[in-house]
Chains A and B, each alone.
Chain A
Amino acid sequence: MIPLSWYLIFAAALFCIGLFGVLSRKNAIAILMGIELMLNSVNVNLLAFWRYLNPNFVAGQVFTVIVFAVAASEVAVGLALIISIYRRRSTIVAEEINLLKY
């Protein structure tokens, strides 16, 4: 059986990739995608811990499902906003969406 630490290393790598994406990309959709990656790395963690530590309890799976639901609705709202911004300002570069800044 694959040891637990592999899953955790994988999840951490995934989280770092996601974090890198959030911090470094200019494209708002790419930033959103980075966030998704980070959320999913958490899901991997949750499932891994559930399976290896407490397989009798259903709580880990439920948590994961809730995170999926939240992530889906967040993406739905986020993309809707981005499309709306794109229609008005013809850009989705995060730095240029600065109407509320100063």
Chain B
Amino acid sequence: MTTESIIWLIPLPPVLAFFLIVLFTNRNKGLSHSIAVGAAFLSWLGSMVVFWRAIHTPELGEHPFTSAINWLPMGNSWFTIGIQIDPLSAATLFFVAWTILMIFIYSVGYHNYGQPAGDHDRPGLPPHGATIVDEQGHKHKVPSIEPMYSRFFAFIGLFAFGMYLLVLSDNMLTLFVGWEIMGLCSYLLIGFWYAKPSARAAMIKAFMTTRVGDVFMLLGIAYLYSQTGTLNYRNIFYNEEILRELASTPSYIAGLSAAGLIGLLLFIGAVGKSAQFPLHVWLPDAMEGPTPVSAMIHAATMVSAGVYMVIRIFPLLTAGAGHGVMTSTMLIISIIGAGTALFAATIAVAQNDIKRVLAYSTISQLGYMMAAVGIGAYVAAAFHLITHAFFKALLFLGSGSVIHGMEHGVLHTGEEIDPQNMLNMGGLRKKMPITFWTFLIGGFALSGFPLITAGFWSKDEILSEAFGNAHWVVFVTLALAALLTAFYTMRQITLTFLGKPRTKSAEHAQETPWTMTMPLVILAVFAVAAGWVGIPEHFPVIGGIIPNWFHSFVGSTLLEEPEAVSFNAIPLLTSLVVALGGLWLGWMVYKKFKAGETDPLENWLGSIYPVLKNKYYVDELYDVVFIKPAIWFSEVFTYLWMDRKVIDGILHAIAFVAYQLGSIFRNYFDKPIVNGSGDLVANVTKSTGRSLRVMQTGRVQQYMVMALFGFITISGLMFYLIQRLILR
């Protein structure tokens, strides 16, 4: 098969799986997950073949695999549906395929396949556990299977379709279609346990917040189309002429060029999707969804899509600026990115929910990538995107495994504690060794543990690019964020796995089944190995042993291949210090943490701690600024005044007039004239019939008399007439 036809086929199995499960197999849980995982496997297989061929194609950047069919006629041109694999999308496809397959497999274990149905489980609520009786007659509480098991696999199948569509697309329009499909799936899956009010609120919040970004993104796409007449990546981003033209066209808004404004609008879309400040509020709440969803949608793939899109439009952002010069759009992107990285990292420090820490960490790391794009570190951003997807998926799945183990303990002991709260854990190292080691690898990769982990290489590259191009503010902000990242990661690891169990449930936690640990191990391998492809060539000692393949591969996506920054010891030392320092600090502060104590940070930070704990009160601010006025507006103005008074009033007036008119017609036209004439006909017929009835005696002799008189009358008449008229 040609590579193009394989690429066309990649997104199809998951969407077929979605329809199969929804329409036919949703009663059969085993069959449903087999179909979904099988579909994910097929897509994975296709992706790997495509990736393999892509890295063996010389000059892929200049001659990507492309194919397109016409879709919507637009005057003289067409909107197309097309696929394109260039180095950037090949690299993205690689991690997308791996994480999706791993998370599909993980979901089987996470939703307790093979366990009995729960005692009181209802669709729309997480499983509460089932009671089983063993051979000795003892009763045990064990985890129970998710009641809406098949539905989950259908949704993530549709999601996988959206993500593959987005990655493989060759134009902004189909990218946007995939983008919105994922938005829908995100909504459905955050609210997967829809009977929980918090999940319902979170799903609406996520959908509404990303919608804000999406509207701007759609505007950006429309502007791009009106300026260039095409939405194809290659026609725009690989075309110096169009880029120069866009950069020289003024947009009349804030002194930006058309390219700058389009870039800004599209970036706002990514701000919504990738949860950057100020649209980051939905992502932590999105942790209401099942953990595989958090791992796949809200860490590895969908939120990465925003960054992927910004990396994709990179030529547009830099258009018109010389090498190393930032356009104002890039300046905004780097400020928001770096600001979000630090901002979210500070919040993560004060969170106790294991998944919320990771959620803020995701926001922070996405901010890193945005900042990298902003300072023009194209390859570094893509590199961090990929390594982050692996280790953050790993961390989320690990946290899911921890929660699962804790839930097991909670069911076993019957304690009433929150199995997601890290203060209730501790000492899980011995209970869940595989989860511990993989989580440790993921955590170290996140903190950028030197030399061996993937996170180190990608983060180091961003820092050295920031340093090398003299973006001091960004550099310092990111370095601080990295320090905090290492700190909260170690805090998390220490609180969760090290020390002694702080609750009975933690004592009785249990390692999760192989369907959950196997993906952890595979992702852990990538969390380490994914970094090796991008080791800078000038790095001391080990630089150049493995060629910096990633840089030249992904860099070739651009018209002008970016140069690697020269090696400098300061950023390297900085990342060493912040990573190791943060980890050491985290360990020192929390190693002696005991059950029932307050968080040491609470004492040190004093009045700042509640601010961090409450996420800088952004939610409260939005509540006051946007939500309350909106509710007031809808209730008082729209409902009570506009709807009830004005519109209802008009309607009631119309109804009154119509009613009056109707009764006039009824009393003066319908009743006397229409009914009257109808009745008249009937009455005349009736009385005629009544008077003629006398003749119907039933006696033949009378009839004959009548016939005789009739005959005589008629013949007399005729005789008379003949006499008068004819015979005259």
Contacts and interface: CB of A to CB of B under 8 A. Distances in A.
A40 to B, nearest CB: 19
A95 B705 contact: no
Most buried by B among A19, A23, A24, A102: A23
Contacts of B698: 101-102
Contacts of A23: 701, 704-705, 708
Contacts of A24: 701
Nearest to B702: A23
Contacts of B700: 94
Contacts of B699: 95
Contacts of A94: 700-701
Nearest to A31: B701
B664 to A, nearest CB: 52
A66 to B, nearest CB: 25
Interface in B661-710: 698-701, 704-705, 708
A19 to B, nearest CB: 7
Nearest to B700: A94
Nearest to B699: A95
A39 interface: no
Q: Chain B: interface residue count, which band?
A: under 10
Q: Is the interface of A mostly helix, strand, loop or mixed?
A: helix
Q: Chain A: interface residue count, which band?
A: under 10
A32 to B, nearest CB: 13
Most buried by A among B698, B699, B701, B708: B701
Nearest to A25: B701
B708 A19 contact: yes
A102 B705 CA distance: 21
Nearest to A95: B699
B91 to A, nearest CB: 102
Contacts of A102: 698
A91 B562 CA distance: 132
Interface string B30-64: 00000000000000000000000000000000000
A22 interface: yes
Contacts of B704: 22-23
Nearest to B701: A23
B703 to A, nearest CB: 10
Nearest to A98: B698
Contacts of B708: 19, 23
Contacts of B705: 23
A102 B696 CA distance: 12
A19 B711 CA distance: 14
A29 to B, nearest CB: 15
Interface in A76-102: 94-95, 101-102
Considering the complex of A and B, which 10 residue pairs feature the smallest CB-CB distances, nearest first? A23-B701, A23-B705, A23-B704, A101-B698, A95-B699, A22-B704, A19-B708, A23-B708, A94-B701, A22-B701
Given A24-B701, A101-B698, 11 more contacts: A19-B708, A22-B701, A22-B704, A23-B701, A23-B704, A23-B705, A23-B708, A94-B700, A94-B701, A95-B699, A102-B698
